[in-house]
Amino acid sequence: MTLRLGDIVPDFTQDSTEGPIHFHDWLGSSWGILFSHPKDFTPVCTTELGYTAKLKPEFDKRNVKVLALSVDSVDSHRNWVGDIAETQGTAVNYPILADTDRKVSDLYDMIHPNANDTLTVRSVFIIDPKKKLRLSLTYPASTGRNFDEILRVIDSLQLTDGYSVATPVNWTDGDDVIIVPSLQDPALIAEKFPKGYKALKPYLRVTPQPNR
């Protein structure tokens, strides 16, 4: 199955280190991150899971639930969690799906035969409260993900959902933003952006971040 941005993500029920996960119910009204790992007891994944656990306060502030996945069993995951705590200095504070039957991996197209026909690639899916896919990233097995970038994208998505703006290159929370080209009514612009804006071009209008 090929998932495209804006699609409703597939629902599933699968066991995890925190019991059965009924995915859409588990997400509820939260944003969600689903991210996959090739297998347990792998070095790059160990660092990723530890760092993601340290970011839990940041995810909580943004109303984001985190769910990891590996094709190994719950018992294997629980043993691995001990290694993560020992080496990364933090407890894993979110569930890890046990996808031994590859059900979720197949639903989300996480197995790429030309890379490896049995192991999942490093996929990341950001899902909004309407269960729509808002971002997907796929990394090779050798490259660890940048979860600070994932937080940055969530900040952008949540901001741009609430205001008529887009975020420019390398934007981070607090930087200036761009008024969307579709907004042309001067009165509405003045109402929405009382701090004013600078028009670099008719289509490129920069304004302070409106929720700051």
Q: What is the pLDDT of residues 104-137, one digit of tens each?
A: 988 998 875 444 444 556 789 999 999 999 999 9
In the CATH hierarchy, which top-level class contains the domain 13-145? alpha beta
Q: What is the pLDDT of residues 35-84, one digit of tens each?
A: 998 889 999 999 999 999 999 999 999 999 999 999 899 999 999 999 99
Q: Is residue 77 within 8 Å of 98, Cβ to Cβ?
A: yes
Q: Residue 25 is encoded by which pair of tokens? A: 């119910």
Higher-confidence residue of 143 and 73: namely 73
Burial class (CB in 10 A: 0-12, 13-18, 19+), 123: buried
Q: What are phi and psi of 141, to 5 degrees?
A: -60, -25
- List helix spans (H) across the chain: 23-27, 43-54, 56-61, 74-88, 103-107, 147-162, 186-192
Q: What pLDDT is attached to residue 88? A: 97
Share of the chain above pLDDT 70, in %: 95
Name the one residue in this structure whose structure tokens are 């090929």: 2
Q: What is the pLDDT of residues 180-194, one digit of tens each?
A: 999 999 999 999 999
Enzyme catalytic residues: 45
Domain with CATH 3.40.30.10 in the chain: 13-145
